[in-house]
């Protein structure tokens, strides 16, 4: 018995029982004779002492031994490569019946892999730790995830493998890999690289061709299989002739003797864009920031940047510019050109910026300074910024970058100005914005209060082996600033490309006239594809909408989303592509060496389907496991304690009644 009170509390309980019994049978007027008095006092002493002890909430400690039957988990690979093998009719259910009769505790899982790909490592990683053995039936073809041998070794239990499929290379050719651009520009060409593998087809010839969605052949080449183990990569340059998301089909003609025609055809999708948006980077004078900004802007394939300097007030601005980045402008020598006043603007305010001229533009930020000097400031990420989405991990990465040179002064900002990054001077977090944005009607502006952005881009690469954090900052700034002509009130969010293994989720957002999100009206979604068509209703999620489409077959899909808002029908149209992985069709040669390695490293053994009786005998010999553990039970919850108290008090009552007093 265990209690949480000092040991002398037990003595106090016994003392309470003794005092109660003595007061009742020796101090009071009741007398039943010396022997009967002693018996009755003893019963009352035990009853009261037990009740007092129960008030201390004692816990009973006991050791329990449990015997558990051997737990064996059966995992069955149901991927396409297994289904296409000669022993595809094999099932572990036969072994299940035999092991059940032998007294094994079993768990069965027939979803060892997706049909289109196999991840044996993920399969083994979800095996519970209590099992005594694992039986895995597979062809050993693993085309996704981590090394299954490493995962199996961590299990600490034997893994018995049942080897399916054929290890003999089939006479076959396959398109094994495609590398292509997801985005191309109308009127240009984009590269496509295709890898072809062939087994036992030496001396044969095939024709490789690519056709677009109109059925037009856009490229072709003859392939000569010069070896029985043949592999080659062929490159094409495909013209981007039609705007929009386009489907292309690669076909490799069949030759006599091929066993699997399905892997001779693959499809891919490329988004053909009608030109990139242009960004003008205008500098007061040569500066390394200009090149850093150009590289960051062009990291987004939807934009191209042109760098210009203000010289003698003469410049030519193209009419299709989407926005302008003004570096150290206006300055004491140059104003912001009038032809740029109507464009969305990003101001990089540096040591050459003329602050009085800048304040006269009434941009939403004024900088009041009585001295012409600069200070070094670093960035502090503001997670309350809401004008556009910026990931917190990117903000934290920017906090590690070196300081910018910022003109000294006090900022006076419009109420609608929001700071994405706040300036830190030494160890002091100021209230001054370092990177801030403002949306005034349809006009968007962004301010960077400091120069030296080239140091940020360089340091980002040194810290993270890429420019992604800096480039993403500039890309988000450009996206926010450039989109000022019109804001859609009903926006549907989809990716342009999915795989047929993805669970597709569509999001949507509806905005009122003040551009505040709400989801009161019902919204619908119509999907049109080659093999799937249907109408769906959005579900409300947060202040927006969401729709789970799940997995869709390979193909090109177009959609129309509608919502009724204040008597007006808002419609959004778009498209996306679902691409087939085809991983299981590329290689149909079983890898029994991998299965043998998994079994050997875990202390198991590999069997073939005709050896299931031997595997059953080995698993049936597994001995039950005896688990020993300690249990704690509150005495107050034990029924025998209540029975004991009732028995003591009941016996006392019967004796007193018998001897003449109730």
Overall average pLDDT of the 375-401 stretch:
90
User: Does residue 1 lie in a domain region?
Assistant: no
> Does any domain span residue 353?
yes
What string of H, E and C letters represents the secondary structure of 338-351? Answer: HHHCCCCEEEEECC
3-state helix, strand, coil in the chain (%, to 5): 25, 40, 35
Q: Report the SS3 class of residue 162.
A: strand
Residue 432 lies in domain: 277-482
pLDDT confidence tier of residue 457, bands split at 50, 70 and 90: very high
Specify the higher pLDDT residue, 375 or 273: 375
Among 235, 254, 273, the domain-final residue is 273
What is the chain's Cα-based Rg? 39
Per residue in 167-187, pLDDT tens? 777 788 888 788 888 878 777
Strand partners, 393: none
Q: Do residue 294 and residue 389 come from a single domain?
A: yes
Whether 368 and 478 map to the same domain: the answer is yes
Tell me the CATH number at 420.
Answer: 3.40.50.880
Q: Is the pLDDT of residue 474 over 80?
A: yes
Min mean pLDDT across 270-284, 367-381, 407-421 is at: 270-284
Query: What six digits make up the tokens of 366?
Result: 């004024």
Residue 3 within any structural domain of the chain: no
CATH of the domain at 138: 3.40.50.410
CA–CA gap between residue 143 and residue 584 (Å, rounded): 8
* CA neighbor of 124 nearest in space, from 617, 560, 654, 604: 604
Same domain, 246 and 305: no
Report d(CA 412, CA 364) in Å as an integer: 8
Note whether 359 and 301 are same-domain residues.
Answer: yes
Q: What is the pLDDT of residue 139?
A: 80
Quick check: is 534 in a domain?
A: yes
What the block records as the tokens of 212 is 């677009």
CATH of residue 257's domain is 2.60.40.10
Please check whether residues 475 and 518 belong to one and the same domain: no
Task: Count the Cβ atoms, other than its own, within 10 Å of residue 645.
Answer: 16
β-pairing, 404-407 vs 374-381, is antiparallel
Is 121 found in the same domain as 93?
yes
Check pLDDT > 90 for residue 219.
Answer: yes
For the sheet containing 229-239, what is the strand order?
172-180, 189-199, 229-239
Which phi and psi angles does 429 have, rounded to 5°? -85, 110
* pLDDT at residue 113, as a whole number: 46
pLDDT score at 67:
67
| CATH classification at residue 560 | 2.60.40.1220
Mean pLDDT (the chain, rounded):
84
Does 86 have pLDDT greater than 60?
no
Same domain, 284 and 260: no
Average pLDDT over residues 4-29: 81
**Does residue 584 form part of some domain?**
no
Q: On the CB side of 199, how many CA atoms lie within 13 Å of its CA? A: 15
Q: Same domain for 461 and 476?
A: yes
Single residue among 447, 482, 517 that ends a domain in this structure: 482
Side by side, the strands of the sheet bearing 497-499 are 497-499, 568-579, 555-565, 523-528, 533-537
Nearest-5° Cα angle at 450, 444 to 453: 90
Mapped onto helix, strand or coil, the DSSP state of residue 31 is coil
Q: What is the DSSP string of 483-500?
A: --S---SEEEE--SEEET
Query: Which domain-ending residue is among 462, 482, 502?
Result: 482
Question: What pLDDT, on the 0 to 100 scale, is given for residue 110?
Answer: 44
Question: How many folded domains does the chain comprise?
Answer: 5
628 versus 351: the higher-pLDDT residue is 351
In 3D, which of 170, 199, 212, 196 has the Cα closest to residue 253? 196
Q: Are residues 638 and 615 in the same domain?
A: no
What secondary structure letter does DSSP report for 368? E
Q: Please report, rounded to a whole number, the percentage of residues in the chain having pLDDT higher than 70.
A: 87
Comparing 583 with 464, the larger pLDDT belongs to 464
* E strand map for 45-158: 59-68, 71-76, 105-109, 133-138
DSSP state of 20: H
In a domain, 111, yes or no: yes
Residue 422 has what DSSP assignment?
E
Most confident by average pLDDT, 114-118, 120-124, 157-161, 638-642: 157-161
Give the confidence band of 567 by pLDDT, cuts at 50, 70, 90: confident
Same domain, 55 and 84: no
On whether the pTM is more than 0.95, the answer is: no
Confidence band of 541 (pLDDT split at 50, 70, 90): confident
3-state secondary structure 513-524: CCCCEECCCCEE
Do 293 and 432 lie in one domain? The reply is yes
- The count of other CB atoms within 10 Å of the CB of residue 399 is 12
**Looking at the domain assignment, is residue 293 inside a domain?**
yes
The rounded distance, in Å, linking the Cα atoms of 258 and 399 is 59
Average pLDDT over residues 483-511: 80
Q: Which of 101, 166, 112, 102 has its CA nearest to residue 134?
A: 112
Q: Are residues 306 and 392 in the same domain?
A: yes
Q: Which residues pair with 525 in a beta bridge?
A: 536, 561
Q: Tell whether the torsion through CA atoms of 235, 240, 242 and 247 is positive or negative.
A: positive
- pLDDT number for residue 353: 95
Assigned domain for 145 exists: yes
For residue 138, the cross-strand partners are: 163
- 298-327 average pLDDT score: 79
- Reduced to 3 states (helix: H, G, I; strand: E, B; else coil), residue 126 is coil
């Amino acid at each position: 018995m265990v209690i949480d009170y000092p040991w002398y509390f037990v003595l106090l309980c016994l003392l309470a029982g003794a005092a109660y019994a003595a007061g009742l049978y020796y101090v009071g007027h009741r007398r039943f004779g010396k022997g009967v008095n002693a018996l009755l006092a003893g019963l009352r002493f035990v009853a009261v002492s037990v009740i007092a002890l129960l008030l201390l909430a004692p816990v009973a400690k006991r050791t329990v031994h449990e015997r558990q039957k051997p737990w064996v988990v059966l995992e069955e690979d149901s991927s396409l490569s297994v289904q296409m093998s000669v022993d595809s009719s094999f099932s572990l259910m036969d072994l299940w019946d035999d092991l059940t009769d032998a007294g094994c505790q079993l768990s069965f899982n027939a979803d060892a892999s997706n049909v289109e790909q196999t991840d044996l490592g993920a399969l083994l990683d979800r095996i519970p730790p209590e099992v005594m053995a694992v039986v895995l039936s597979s062809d050993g073809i693993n085309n996704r995830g981590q090394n299954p041998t490493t995962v199996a070794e961590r299990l600490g239990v034997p893994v018995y493998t049942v080897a399916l499929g054929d290890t003999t290379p089939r006479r076959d050719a396959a398109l094994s890999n495609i590398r292509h651009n997801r985005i191309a520009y109308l009127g240009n060409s984009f590269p496509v690289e295709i890898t072809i593998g062939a087994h036992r087809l030496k001396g044969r010839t095939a024709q490789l061709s690519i056709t677009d969605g109109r059925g037009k052949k856009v490229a072709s080449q003859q392939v000569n299989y010069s070896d029985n183990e043949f592999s080659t990569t062929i490159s094409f340059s495909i013209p981007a002739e039609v705007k929009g998301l386009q489907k292309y089909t690669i076909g490799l003609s069949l030759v006599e003797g091929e066993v699997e025609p399905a892997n001779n055809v693959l499809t891919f999708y490329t988004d053909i864009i009608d030109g990139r948006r242009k960004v003008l980077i205008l500098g007061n004078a040569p500066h390394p920031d200009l090149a850093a900004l150009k590289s960051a802007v062009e990291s987004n394939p939807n934009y191209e940047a042109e760098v210009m300097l203000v010289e003698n007030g003469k410049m030519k601005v193209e009419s299709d510019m989407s926005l302008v980045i003004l570096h150290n402008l206006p300055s004491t020598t140059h104003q912001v050109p009038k032809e740029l006043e109507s464009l969305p603007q990003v101001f990089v305010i540096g040591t050459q910026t003329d602050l009085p001229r800048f304040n006269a533009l009434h941009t939403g930020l004024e900088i009041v300074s009585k001295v012409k000097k600069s200070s070094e400031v670093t960035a502090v990420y503001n997670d309350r910024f809401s004008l556009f989405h910026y990931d917190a991990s990117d903000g934290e990465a920017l906090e590690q970058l070196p300081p910018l040179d910022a003109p000294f002064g006090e900022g006076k900002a419009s109420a609608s100005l929001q700071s994405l990054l706040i300036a830190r001077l030494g160890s002091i977090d100021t209230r001054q914005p370092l990177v801030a944005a403002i949306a005034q009607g349809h006009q968007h502006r962004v301010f960077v209060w400091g120069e030296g952005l080239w140091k940020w881009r360089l340091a980002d690469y040194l810290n993270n082996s890429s420019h992604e954090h800096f480039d993403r900052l500039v890309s988000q700034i450009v996206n926010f600033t450039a989109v000022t002509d019109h804001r859609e009130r009903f926006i549907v969010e989809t990716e342009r490309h999915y795989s047929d293994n993805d669970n597709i989720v569509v999001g949507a957002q509806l905005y009122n006239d003040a551009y505040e999100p709400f989801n009161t009206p019902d919204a619908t979604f119509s999907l049109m594809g080659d093999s799937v068509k249907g109408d769906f209703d959005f579900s409300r999620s947060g202040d927006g909408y969401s729709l789970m489409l799940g997995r869709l077959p390979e193909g090109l899909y177009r959609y129309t989303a509608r919502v009724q808002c204040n008597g007006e029908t808002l419609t959004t149209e778009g498209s996306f592509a679902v691409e087939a992985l085809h991983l299981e069709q590329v290689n149909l040669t079983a890898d029994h060496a991998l299965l043998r390695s998994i079994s050997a490293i875990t202390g198991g053994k590999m069997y073939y389907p005709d050896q299931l009786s031997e595997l059953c005998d080995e698993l049936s010999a597994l001995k039950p496991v005896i688990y020993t553990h300690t249990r704690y039970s509150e005495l107050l919850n034990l029924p025998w304690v209540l029975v004991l108290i009732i028995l003591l008090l009941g016996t006392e009552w019967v004796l007193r009644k018998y001897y003449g007093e109730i």
